[in-house]
Chains A and B, each alone.
Chain A
Amino acid sequence: MNNVTENLRKTAAKLLQDQEVKMVIGYGAGSEAVRTQPLFITSPEDAEKLVWNPFCVNGLTKYLSDLKGFDGKIAVVVKGCDSRGIYRLTQDNIVSRDQVVVLGIPCAGQMSYQKLAAKMDVSGQLTDVEEKGENLEIKTSKGNFTVKKSEVLLDKCALCENHNPVVADHLIGDKLDIAPKPDDYEEIKKYEAMSTEEKAKFWLSQFERCIRCYACRNTCPGCTCRECVFDTIKPDWVGKEINVSENELFHLTRAMHLAGRCVDCGECDRVCPMDIPIRLLNKKLLKDCKELFEMATPGSSEEGGSVLGQYRLEDPEEFM
């Protein structure tokens, strides 16, 4: 067991023991070696079930919105990217900061289940995982495997802005001294350079696959409307019919609703069962908002809110 897991279990058990919180949301062992699953514990004894390893891909902050009205404080485990979701939720008045205890874990990068499954037999149970230089040594009940980290890293982790959480009431593990790699938006520039027709062709072929499961919306810490426009029956702004036109309306509306608010945690992209590159849309909006309004990545600090919901005299207005 690694030190972080040990510290995490101790901290969680103490918080529950001292009744400082009534629930801890973290990661537990998954059904396959390189997966974990969100875990909700309410008794100190269950702290033993918490794990920390390079397969803790899920963002957990959205559960705070689901658990609105929960009787008591909740502690939640966050990585750097997820930690921005905490401020998203507090700035949107979805959760109150004093009701949340943030357990921040510095993170060097998380590994993609899809990429790992293509390289090794993932069907066993994880017994140990160790980082050795550029490699990850994964020991499972089905055998031991060595994979190169850079080959199985989640795409988003290659351009990580916050290896250390932006907020943590308890920092579990040592701060990482890895220089952040701010996104230079090279990938977005590639799409910006396309003609309107090319862009339409690319995106419509992506949206055509959408099965409208709404996983991207449901996992998003910025999607917390009391009634989502896509669930409204009357008026039916977006029809339930699955076709490229309704799908396009869904995706563009979803993205625009997050303009200036998306914390760029990449969960929408990870959860999409149809491998639609949803994050590109959010990235484009992030780039535009940063260029137009000198905005930091939303959720980077406690103060803020929605840049498009604010007004400054110096805001650009070339379009007026």
Chain B
Amino acid sequence: MANKSIKKDQVKGLLDKLAESNQLIAPIQSEGITLFKPVKSGEGVVLDCQNALVPPKDFFFPQSEKMFTYDISDPSWAITPVEGVPNRVLFGARPCDVKSILLLDKVFDAEFRDDYYLDKRNKTTIVALSCNDARHTCFCGAFGISPGEAEGADILLTDLGDRYLAEVLTEKGEALVSSCANLFTDDDGNGPAAKEKAVAPAKEKQMQISLEGVKEKLDNMFDHPIWDTESLRCIGCGTCTFVCPTCHCFDIVDFNNQSSIGYRYRCADSCQFANFTRAAGGHQPRPTKKERIRQRFLHKLRYFVDRYGDFGCVGCGRCLEKCPVNLDIAQIINKVKEVG
């Protein structure tokens, strides 16, 4: 489909329309905090803001998710699966977060197909939003991500001042535009050039980090003393993993409140927690913070590459901004390049 354009004053109408027949998920601000939330209309949706405090990952891989209910007093255990989600539109996801969803696909849509994830993934149309500015912690370029591209999204919007350029990337995107055709106009042909100009500050302002040789170097750094020194200041909280758009480890737990009826849920778990790898009998293969932070950095920068051919980080910068002790993955990358 040819490039489209939508005037800024039409966006609320678009969101209102989308919310009529979909669950609409969009960034809203409350008490100065931006978060993706399900909304009933375009009211309160903010697009000219920095990226959300936590990624929209939660709408594909919720931090907690009920899997099924059961009643063990029933001879067949009465296992009842939970209902899937309705059709949804994720609106305003940034290029880094869109890329993270492609990375999660590699995990959840692989040899083992995770129905819980795929139900949400398949029923969601992603309308991405280019970045016109970068935060001081952004470094998506290091991973080959551009603030003005969003492979994996269905539509990519770019703020061009009075209007958004709408690049329709997939059939799902075409369907969305067709359903609201009166709100879009054909782009006048200047869109792509204007887009390059609009996203240039985001490219220039972000941290310029090169990953050249980092993976190869990490291949031989499992026993390097860097993990001893860097782990000392870690306080073992789960902030980095829970604000991360690509972290996907989870635990499965039954909740039954001492009765025969209960439900099984899964919830995000953190490799930084002391009991994350604790096995029955008490064996702990990652007994100290050293093994735990090494796992986190090697998972992102080495194991994920080995397994899926891509880095497990998108440079969104959330973990480095939020880490209470300034354990900064961009700084770690630079240190890895420097150490002998």
Q: Which residues of A are in contact with B by a Cβ distance under 8 Å?
A: 30-32, 35-40, 58, 62-63, 117, 121-123, 209, 211-215, 217-219, 231, 233, 236, 239-243, 270-271, 273-275
Contact A31 B253 (CB under 8 A): no
With A209-B33, A241-B265, A271-B324: A215-B237 Cβ-Cβ less than 8 Å: yes
Chain A residues lying within 8 Å of B63, measured Cβ to Cβ, are 211, 242
Contact A215 B235 (CB under 8 A): yes
Closest to A122 in B: B136
Partner-binding segment picked from B7-15, B216-224, B325-333: B325-333
Q: Is B54 an interface residue (CB 8 A)?
A: yes
Q: Which residues of B are in contact with A by a Cβ distance under 8 Å?
A: 31-33, 35, 53-54, 63-64, 136-137, 207, 229, 232-233, 235-239, 241-243, 251, 253, 255, 265, 267-270, 273-275, 320, 322, 324-328, 330-331
21 residue pairs bridging A and B, Cβ less than 8 Å apart = A36-B326, A58-B325, A209-B33, A213-B270, A214-B237, A214-B273, A215-B235, A215-B237, A215-B238, A217-B237, A219-B324, A236-B253, A239-B255, A241-B64, A241-B253, A242-B267, A271-B235, A271-B239, A273-B53, A274-B54, A275-B53
With A123-B207, A240-B251: A31-B328 Cβ-Cβ less than 8 Å: yes
Chain A residues lying within 8 Å of B235, measured Cβ to Cβ, are 62, 215, 218-219, 271
Q: How far is the CB of A59 from chain B (nearest CB, A)?
A: 10
Contact B239 A38 (CB under 8 A): no
Chain B residues lying within 8 Å of A62, measured Cβ to Cβ, are 235
Complex Cα distance, B331 from A113, in Å, reads 17
Extra contacts besides A32-B326, A242-B267, A274-B54 (20): CB < 8 Å? A31-B320, A31-B330, A31-B331, A32-B136, A36-B326, A40-B233, A63-B232, A211-B54, A211-B243, A213-B242, A214-B237, A214-B238, A215-B237, A217-B237, A233-B275, A240-B251, A240-B267, A241-B253, A274-B53, A275-B31
Closest to A37 in B: B326
Determine which residue in B251, B255, B325 has the highest number of CB atoms from chain A within 10 A of its CB, and name it: B325
With A218-B236, A241-B265, A242-B63: A273-B326 Cβ-Cβ less than 8 Å: no
Closest to A57 in B: B324
Complex Cα distance, B20 from A212, in Å, reads 34
Contact A40 B253 (CB under 8 A): no
